[in-house]
Amino acid sequence: MLAIFCCFYITTYFTGAAGSAAILPSMGASTVLLFAVPHGQLSTPWAFLAGNLLSAVVGVTCSKYIELIVLAAPTAVALSILVMHLTRSLHPPGGATALAAVIGGPAIHELDYWYVLTPTLINCCILFSVAMLFNNLFRWRRYPQSIMHYQSVGYHPDTRRIRMQHIHEAIRRSELVIDASDEQIKHIVDLADAIFHEELSAGFILEPGAFYTNGKPGRKWSVRQVVDEREHTDSFRHLVVYRVVNGEGKGLTDSCTLPEFAEWAHQKMQPKRKKIG
C-alpha cells in the first residue's frame, strides 16, 4: 500500500492522472513480485531495475521512430523481451513499462526519454526501498535474495557432493526457465534428501549384534553385523559400528550414520545354527 501510494503520487505529479493510469499498472505488477516472491529470479534487484529501465528506453524509442501505434506497441514489447533476455534482466512488468511508453498518450509522449527517469526510475527506487524495508523485517524473507542465509540441514553424503555449478549446469542443459536461484534449488535438494533419510531411519529398527544384508547380486552381495552404536537425537549423528562378516569387504570393520545403514540394509538375516549329531 505504501509503495503504490508513493508511486501514484509521484507519477501523477510528473504526468498527470492520464499518465499515471498508463505507467502504474507495470509498477503494480512489479510490486506483486517484490512483495509476494522476493526470492524469485524475476524479483532480483538487477531484473527489477534493469528490466524496467531498459524496457522504458525501448518503449520511448519505438514511440518516437515508429509512427503507426499498431506497429509501435507490439514492437516495443517484443524488443523489450529480447533486451531483457540478452541482459539477463527478465522482469515481466518490463513489457508493460515499454507498452505504456507507446500507448500512454500525450502526457507520456511529452516526457520523451525523461520517461526513463521520471517516473520510471523514481518509481523503481520507491518500490525497491519499501521492499527492502518490509522484507528485511523477517529473517526468512531477506531482500535482496543474496543476503538470505539458508539453515544447514543434515543430508546424505551423495548430495553433499552436488555444488552450485552442478545445479546451474543441470538447469542450462534442461533448457527450463526456473524462477529460483541455484542456492534455493540446492537447499531444496538437500532438504528433500534429509527428509527421505529421516523416513528411512524412522521405519528402521537397529538391533545390536544382528546381521543385515544389502541383498545385491553377485560380488556386490555383503553381510554386516552390528557391533556397536553411538546414539544421538540427530539421526545423521547416530553412528553404527559394523563388521563385514561375509561377501564383499569380508573382515572389514567400519562405521556409518544410521540413515546410511538403513538405506544399505535390504533385510535382516538370521544365521543358521549348526545341527548337533
In contact, 101 and 60? CB cutoff 8 Å:
yes
The helix (run of H) or strand (run of E) holding residue 173 is: helix 164-174
In contact, 181 and 164? CB cutoff 8 Å:
no
C-alpha cell at 125: 527506487
Q: Are strands 267-269 and 222-230 parallel, antiparallel or unpaired?
A: unpaired
User: In the chain, what are the domain boundaries?
Assistant: 2-141, 157-200, 211-269
* CA pair distance 39, 210, nearest whole angstrom: 48
Per residue of the chain (277 residues), give pLDDT as tens: 999 999 999 888 888 887 788 888 999 999 999 999 998 889 999 999 999 999 999 999 999 999 999 999 999 999 999 999 999 999 999 999 999 999 998 989 999 999 999 899 999 999 999 999 999 998 888 898 888 776 655 555 556 667 777 777 877 788 776 777 777 788 778 777 777 767 777 778 888 899 999 989 888 899 999 999 998 887 778 899 999 999 999 999 999 988 889 889 988 887 666 555 5
- pTM given for the model: 0.66
